[in-house]
């Protein structure tokens, strides 16, 4: 059973860079069907897609966050990572990593496996 | 960006009720529409993908329909474990992948 686990600091100072890692177990991320994605959820609010990457390094980002976000993959560790620069209080949220399954036959994408989430607070 | 509008934003219902949640896209997304359930303190769970395909392990009381801009999630007979917040998400406009604002289903 594929499992995902987020890790990273729970507290980041304003203007600094947030770095999170998602470790995948129970399966390989080196699959044409696997995209590793990051989604966040501010307290009491809805879900926001941030970015996704596949094993070959194909990436896509939410346009409004693109200038501050970098997503990367480490196949040797079965991990993918997110950095978000110049953070403000508005970036405080629960951050989830998830597998975005890509059906190569139909072209459908959906987030079918999620980590438990990690709460990040931006505060001095 | 595609905008996804869910209605209602919240509803109260009783066990056994039929519940319908709607999601409207600001442009045609064919059937690139997914539904998720989220319980407090938990990660979202995929219920429906491609507008009407039931994810493995999800009870058959959940169903999805629609195409183009208008979609619905139906719970045929609400169970105690179904009280949660439900989100739609379009997967048409990579890279944006916008979620709807959510519908909270509460106990009447």
Task: Divide the 108 residues of chain B into consecutive groups of 10 and give the mean pLDDT of each group.
Answer: 95 97 97 97 98 97 98 97 97 84 95
pLDDT digits (tens, 9 = 90+) for A42-90: 999 999 999 999 999 999 999 999 999 999 999 999 999 999 999 999 9
Instruction: Using pLDDT thresholds of 50, 70 and 90, give the confidence band for residue A104.
Output: confident
Chain B hits for A1, Cβ within 8 Å:
none
Q: What is the pLDDT of residue A105?
A: 87
Closest CA to B92 of B5, B27, B23: B27
Distance CA B31, CA A47 (A): 20
Which of B45, B49, B102 lies nearest to residue A108, judging by beta carbons? B49
CA angle B2–B7–B13, rounded 5-degree value: 150
Pairing between strand B10-13 and B103-107? parallel
Q: What is the pLDDT of residue B95?
A: 61
Instruction: Mark B59-96 as b/e (b = at least 16 C-beta within 10 Å).
Output: eeebbbebeebebbbebeebeeebbbbbbbbbbbebeb
Which of B32, B45, B87 lies nearest to residue A108, judging by beta carbons? B32
Which of B38, B41, B43 is the best mutation test for A, with the most CBs of A within 10 A?
B43
CA distances B19 to A40, B4, B68, B78, Å, are: 27, 19, 22, 7
CA of B26 to nearest chain A CA: how many angstroms apart? 17
Q: What is the pLDDT of residue A103?
A: 86
| Cβ(A86)–Cβ(A30) below 8 Å | no
Q: What is the pLDDT of residue B69?
A: 98
Percentage with pLDDT > 90 across chain A: 86
Q: What is the pLDDT of residue A35?
A: 92
């Amino acid at each position: 059973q594929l499992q995902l686990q987020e890790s990273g600091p729970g507290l980041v100072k304003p203007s600094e860079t947030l770095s999170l890692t998602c470790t995948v177990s129970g399966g390989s991320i080196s699959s044409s069907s696997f995209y590793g994605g990051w989604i966040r959820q501010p307290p009491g609010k809805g879900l926001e897609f941030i970015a996704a990457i596949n094993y070959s390094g194909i990436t896509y980002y939410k346009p409004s966050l693109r200038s501050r976000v970098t997503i990367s993959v480490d196949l040797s560790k079965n991990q993918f990572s997110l950095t978000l620069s110049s953070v403000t209080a508005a970036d405080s949220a629960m951050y989830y990593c998830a597998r975005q399954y890509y059906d190569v036959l139909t072209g459908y994408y959906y987030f079918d496996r999620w980590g438990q989430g990690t709460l990040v607070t931006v505060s001095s | 960006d595609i905008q996804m509008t869910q209605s209602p934003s919240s509803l109260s219902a009783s066990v056994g009720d039929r519940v319908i949640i709607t999601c409207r896209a600001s442009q045609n997304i064919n059937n690139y529409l997914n539904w998720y359930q989220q319980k407090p303190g938990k990660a979202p769970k995929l219920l429906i993908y491609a507008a009407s395909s039931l994810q493995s392990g999800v009870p058959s009381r959940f169903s999805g329909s629609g195409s183009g801009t208008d979609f619905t999630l139906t719970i045929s007979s609400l169970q105690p474990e179904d009280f949660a917040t439900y989100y739609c998400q379009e997967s048409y406009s990579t890279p944006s992948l916008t979620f709807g604002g959510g519908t909270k289903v509460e106990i009447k």
